[in-house]
Amino acid sequence: MPITSSLGLQPYSGSLSKKQRIFFLNRVTFGASNAYLNQISSLNLTSIVDLVLNEKTLNDTPINNYQNISPDPNIPYGSSWVNDQFIQTIDVLRFRSFGGWLGNRLIDQELSIQEKMTLFLHNLLPLQSTVVQDSRKLFQNYKLLFDNAFGNYKELVLKVSKNPAMLVYLNGRLNNKNSPDENYARELLELFTVGKGKDSKFTEDDVKAASKVLTGYQLTADGLGYVFNPNRHDTNKKIFSAFFNNTEIQGKTGAQGEDEVSELMDMLFNQKETARHFCRKLYKFFVYYEIDSTIENQVIIPLADYFIAQNYNMKAVLKKLLLSEHFWDIENYGAMIKSPLDFVIGVLRNVEMSRPPSNNFEQRYAIDYDFMTHAGLLGQSYYEPPAVSGWDAYHQFPLFHETWINTTSANNRSKISTFYLAGYKKSGFDVKIDVIKLTNTFSNPSDPNILAEDAVLFFHTLPITNELKTKLVSILKFNQAQDYYWTNAWNDHINNPNDASKKKIVTDLLTLFYKYIFDLAEFQLI
């Protein structure tokens, strides 16, 4: 059933429960961790929102972790390749390096919405690695989105229009006055700015005119920058429709031809539909997948007006949304299915999975890349959305988030959690959830009733039922009648940590306990 919240953007004034804090962390990061939950446990809402909106700096880059697989002629082991020349024979290894580095960033993300916002922007302004085919450009694009995640959306769209990866992906580098290519111009209007909503009335002639404004861009010789070539630019006047107030962009010659793109951005961002389209996308990503007329009028339109008033500053509009009564409406709790990245990275962050030391590049990158491929197996490969419109779950009516779950993906989600609980070896490292360490993070592990309540509170958005609590306690008690079966087993292990048999009893019961939790439908919700 779609939610029916009628709350608007008035600031939420209630106190925050532990459940609400967990809900917040799951929505704004890739999964709550006990460390970050403890960090915000005594903060009020304004302080928490300010904390997650504290801008972070991208101070590391992917490195050569593949030297033992295929020697890099230019870059030594442990050094960055992102500014090196393109080498086709080893780019597949650099792509895995980029994926491992990115996985590491998501798993070890700081307490900030910036990583989640970067994924939002990647879905809104997407690229496909199989089209770009240059890992240097992918890193460069990621850095652009991350660095501008709290900045001005208008300025970001202008930068993306000239970004080397985007110039390749949507043919901008091929767009010239003799053969205008409408590919990027069409997506700029349909997907990146005014959108395709009922009040977006741009025409085919608008797309053609925009494509002519965008002529003249080429890649630099090294492929990592752009140049504007006046000889390839259409210098004729570009005339737009009544939807854009019959705007005319005068053709310019020489280097001034590039100024036309800034005028195009002014025109697009003077149209209210651009702000509304962005806010609808933001809402569907962070709050709920469906927007009815009440939400449109109570949330989207006033949020878009605020966005315009704040000169398209994304940090400002995020803060407005995250502080609102609407965001904190109980109707939103558990209202969306976790994306594959939320599921995989969330599990790893929930359990604080042990991984190789960060300076063991070969092991660490290989394992973190492995985790990213697990999300891909479930339908969400970073830098490989299915289309220029991004992942279906964020826009495709009527299923939206339900597209994440089908017979195959549900089965694979169960297999992945089993994989992490049972453990496996990768690059010589044992990848496995330490169920005893995890259980020690809860308030009273020796009491099966309290442990069941604590675990469900942490892992599930929805509250525990008596039936679920009874089932979980029975697993811990090994179906024995008395609670002390688990209490004795746990205390025996704690008092004799080196006794392998006592440890095995507790480990086996906890593995079944967490597996049951991970397989419940409620665990798939966020």
CB contact at 8 A, 93 and 365 = no
3-state helix, strand, coil in the chain (%, to 5): 55, 5, 40
Full DSSP string of 283-310: HHHHT-S---HHHIIIIIHHHHHHHHHT
Residue 451 belongs to domain spanning:
437-524
**Residue 29, domain member (yes or no):** no
What is the structure's pLDDT at 411? Answer: 96
Helices (H) and strands (E) in the chain, counts: 24, 6
Token pair 């259409």 is at which residue?
A: 234
Is residue 91 within 8 Å of 126, Cβ to Cβ?
no
Q: Collapse the DSSP code of 338 into the 3-class scheme (helix H, G, I; strand E, B; otherwise coil) and give the result.
A: coil
CB burial string 388-423: b at 16+ within 10 A, e below: bbbbbbbbbeeebbebbbeeebeebbeebbeebbee
Is the Cβ–Cβ distance between 368 and 360 less than 8 Å? no
The residues of the chain scoring below 70 in pLDDT are: 1-3
The answer to whether the Cα torsion of 72, 75, 79, 84 is positive or negative is negative
In this prediction, residue 274 carries a pLDDT of: 98
Q: Which amino acid is at 287?
A: V
Do residues 99 and 372 make contact, with C-beta atoms less than 8 angstroms apart? yes
In this prediction, residue 462 carries a pLDDT of 86
371: in domain: no
Residue 462 CA to residue 225 CA, distance in Å, equals 48
Is residue 262 a contact partner of residue 183, using CB atoms and an 8 Å limit? no
Characterise 9 by phi-psi region: left (phi > 0), alpha (psi -120 to 50), beta (else): alpha
One-character DSSP codes across 111-173: SSSHHHHHHHHHHHS---HHHH--HHHHHHHHHHHHHTTTSBHHHHHHHHHT-HHHHHHT-GG
DSSP 190: I
pLDDT at position 5: 84
Q: Is 89 exposed, middle or buried (0-12, 13-18, 19+ CB in 10 A)?
A: exposed
- Continuous H helices in 241-360: 259-269, 272-286, 293-295, 301-309, 314-322, 340-351
Residue 6's pLDDT is 85
The single-letter DSSP state of residue 332 is G
Rounded to whole angstroms, the Cα distance separating 524 from 412 reads 12
Assess if residue 482 is contained within a domain. Answer: yes
pLDDT of residue 481: 86
Please report which residue ranges of 391-465 form alpha helices under DSSP H. 407-422, 435-439, 448-459
Residue 256 lies in a domain: no
Read off the amino acid at residue 265: M
Answer yes or no: is 468 within a domain.
yes
Identify whether 57 is part of a domain. Answer: no
What pLDDT score was predicted for residue 182? 98
Nearest to 490 by CA among 507, 472, 511, 478: 507
Q: Is residue 486 part of a domain?
A: yes
Question: So what's the pLDDT on residue 461?
Answer: 86
Q: How many domains are contained in the chain?
A: 1
Report the DSSP beta bridge partners of residue 11.
Answer: 324
Where do we find the tokens 């389209």?
Answer: 277
Annotate 73-103 with DSSP letters as a single string: SSS-TTSB-TTSPP-GGGHHHHHHHHHHHHH
> Is residue 490 a part of any domain in this protein?
yes
